[in-house]
Structure 1
C-alpha cells in the first residue's frame, strides 16, 4: 500500500532535469556517525520511510561511520555535488563557515531549552543557515550530539591543571582546538573512525565527546577515566547540496524534508534517553567517573582570553545573538 505522498511523485519525478519515472532517483548521504548512534538509526529509518512512501522512486543510501571519508572530505564531496546529502558536525563546519561552530563556545548553553531555542528559530539560526547557503548548502535541522566530556587513559580531569600536556583527540574544530590549548592541553585532529586505534596505541592520551558517542565508538575499552566536564556542545546539521536539492520537484522536497524533521525529533528524544543511561553503563564497563566543578574551567578560559578572542572573531553582532540565548559569557 502506498504512503500518502507516493502518488504525487509519479509525474514530477518523470520531468526534467530528473530521470525518467521508470528509474528511481538514487542519491547518497554521508555521515561520520557510527552504526549504533541515534543519528544513524533515526536517519536510516527516515530514509526507509521515504523509500516506501515514494514506492522506491526516491532511494537515498546512507553511508555511516565515515565510509565516504573524513568530515572534511565529505564536505568537499557535498559541495561538489558528488553526494547529495550529509550529516556534518557544527564543529567541523566551522572550518568552512566560521559561524557554524558558534554553538560549541565553551560553557555557553546551560541546557537544551536555550540551545534548541537558538538553533531551531531566531536570528542566530538564520545567520548560520545563510552562511551555509553561501557555500551552496541547504541546512535542515540539527541533530543532537550532546554536551562533551573527557575520557583519558592517564588521569581523571578534576581541575584545569589536569589537562596540561594532555594529548587529546578533537574533531577539526578551531573552537575546540582553541579551548584545549587555552587550558594547556595538546589537541590533535584525528578522524573519528581512526580514534580507537589512536587511543589504543597512545598516539593520543584521550578524547572528548558525548557519552553516546563514547559508547558507540567503544573507546571505553582502551581508556580508564571519564570526567564529566560538559565543556562544549556539538550537533550535526543535515545538509543538502543546494543545486541538487533545488532540482527536485516540490513534492519530493516536501516528502524528504518532512521525514528529515521527524528523524530529528526522534533522534533528539532517543539521544537524551541514551545519554541519561550512558554513565551507568560506562561505569559498569569499568570506567572511573568523576564530575568536576565547571566554574574553575570557565574562569581559566576567561583569564586566558578565550572568550574575548572568540567575540572578536565572530563579531559583536553574532556574539550578541549568541548571548541573547546564553547570557553574558566570559564575565
Structure 2
C-alpha cells in the first residue's frame, strides 16, 4: 500500500518534472505581462504546495505566459503573520492562509469553533455557500480577496508526550502548543490546560525541547511533520476543523484583466478540490502509519470537553456578531 509519505514524494517529483517542462515552454514564450508571488508556510511535499504549484503551472500555460505566479513555500518568505502583512501591503500578491486571519477579520475563525461541524463535507457546504460569502465579504472590506474554493486541513486531535488524554481531567496543567489565534487559547484555558502560542514553523522544536507537553493538529499533518518522533500518545478528539483560505491582494486582483481572472478562478477551484481529496486520503492512512511508528492511540471521551464551553461560546458569539453567528447555527445547530 502506498503511504502518505510515498505519495507526497511521488507527487513532488511530478511537480518538479512539470516545472521543468514549463520552463522549456516558457523559454519560447512571450515575457509575462503580470508577475505575481504566492507565499505559503506549508512544505513543498505537502498537498497544499503540490496542488497550488499545479495551479500556477496551468495558469501560466493557459494564459500563454501572460500571468506568471511564482511559488514560495515552506515559509521561505517568513512566518504566516509576516506573509499576511506582505499580502496586505502588496509585497506579495497571493497567500495561502491558515489560522492567521482572525486578528484582522475575527469571523474567519468561525469554521474552527470546537465541536460544531461533524465532517469536512459539512464545513465546505457552509464555506462554499452563505457563511463563506459573509466571511469573504468581511475580508474584502480589509483589502483581501478570498477565493471561494479553499483547502482542507482536517479535524484536529491531541498528541502528548506525558500521558494520554482520555477525559477532560487529563488536560489539567498540561502545556499545550496552540495556533496563534486567541479563540484556540480560550478553548484550552477553559478545559484546564496551559496554552502556549507558537507558529507552525516552531512546532517540532517546542515539542522536542519539552517547552510544551502537547499539541493539536490534524492526523495527516502529524505524519507529515513527523511528530511521532517527539510525541508518544495520540488521543482522538476530533475537536475542531481547520483549513485554508486562498487569498489575493484585493487591489492586485482588481487590476487583473477579466480573462486572466477567469483562468485563475477556474484553476484555483480545480486545485482546491484535488487538495481536499488528497487530505481525505492521507487522513484515512494516518493512524496506521503512526501506530506503525510506535505512537499509542486511544479514543477520548469528549463529553466532558463540551460541558465547560457555555461561557466560551457566549463570549465568541459577542465577538463574531449576531449575523455571522446565525449563519453558523443554521448549519450546526444552536450553540449559545
Check whether TM > 0.5. Answer: yes
Q: Give yes or no for the alignment of 1:61 onto 2:70.
A: yes
Which residue of structure 2 lines up, in the alignment, with residue 212 of structure 1? 220
Q: Give yes or no for the alignment of 1:50 onto 2:53.
A: no
Q: Is the 8 A contact 2:120 2:154 kept in 1?
A: no
Q: Give yes or no for the alignment of 1:131 onto 2:146.
A: no
Which residue of structure 1 lines up, in the alignment, with residue 27 of structure 2? none
Which residue of structure 1 lines up, in the alignment, with residue 320 of structure 2? 314
Q: How far does residue 190 in structure 1 lie from its aligned partner after superposition?
A: 1.1
Whole-Å Cα distance in 1 between the matches of residues 200 and 186 of structure 2? 19
Q: Give yes or no for the alignment of 1:245 onto 2:253.
A: yes
Whole-Å Cα distance in 2 between the matches of residues 247 and 312 of structure 1? 36
Which residue of structure 2 lines up, in the alignment, with residue 14 of structure 1? none
What aligned pairs does 1:217-232 form with structure 2 within 5 A after superposition?
Answer: 217-232=225-240
Whole-Å Cα distance in 1 between the matches of residues 166 and 202 of structure 2? 27
- Secondary structure of the 1:150 match is strand
Q: Give yes or no for the alignment of 1:329 onto 2:335.
A: yes
Which residue of structure 2 lines up, in the alignment, with residue 36 of structure 1? 45
Q: Which of 84, 89, 98 is 1:75 aligned to?
A: 84
Moved over 3 A (4+): 21-24
Q: Give yes or no for the alignment of 1:260 onto 2:268.
A: yes
Which residue of structure 1 lines up, in the alignment, with residue 118 of structure 2? 110
Whole-Å Cα distance in 1 between the matches of residues 309 and 166 of structure 2? 15
Q: How far does residue 96 in structure 1 lie from its aligned partner after superposition?
A: 1.1
TM-score, normalised with respect to structure 1: 0.89
Q: How far does residue 25 in structure 1 lie from its aligned partner after superposition?
A: 2.5
1:268 and 1:22, CA in 2 relative to 1: closer, same or farther beyond 3 A? closer
Which residue of structure 2 lines up, in the alignment, with residue 291 of structure 1? 299
Unaligned runs of at least 5 residues, structure 2: 1-29
Q: Which of 134, 146, 154 is 2:154 aligned to?
A: 146
Aligned Cα RMSD in Å? 1.4
Q: How far does residue 99 in structure 1 lie from its aligned partner after superposition?
A: 0.6
Whole-Å Cα distance in 2 between the matches of residues 36 and 23 of structure 1? 27
Whole-Å Cα distance in 1 between the matches of residues 72 and 228 of structure 2? 24
Q: How far does residue 24 in structure 1 lie from its aligned partner after superposition?
A: 4.8
Q: How far does residue 23 in structure 1 lie from its aligned partner after superposition?
A: 4.1
- Secondary structure of the 1:92 match is coil
Which residue of structure 2 lines up, in the alignment, with residue 8 of structure 1? none
Whole-Å Cα distance in 2 between the matches of residues 131 and 25 of structure 1? 27
Q: Is the 8 A contact 1:118 1:325 kept in 2?
A: yes
Whole-Å Cα distance in 2 between the matches of residues 196 and 31 of structure 1? 18
- Secondary structure of the 1:106 match is coil
- Secondary structure of the 1:93 match is coil
Q: Which of 210, 214, 224 is 1:202 aligned to?
A: 210
- Secondary structure of the 2:196 match is strand
User: CA-to-partner distance for each residue in 1:11-35, whole Å, 9 max, x for gaps?
Assistant: xxxxxxxxxx644532111112122
For these two proteins, the number of residue pairs brought into alignment is 306
Whole-Å Cα distance in 1 between the matches of residues 142 and 39 of structure 2? 18
Q: Is the 8 A contact 2:32 2:68 kept in 1?
A: no
Which residue of structure 2 lines up, in the alignment, with residue 179 of structure 1? 187
Unaligned runs of at least 5 residues, structure 1: 1-20
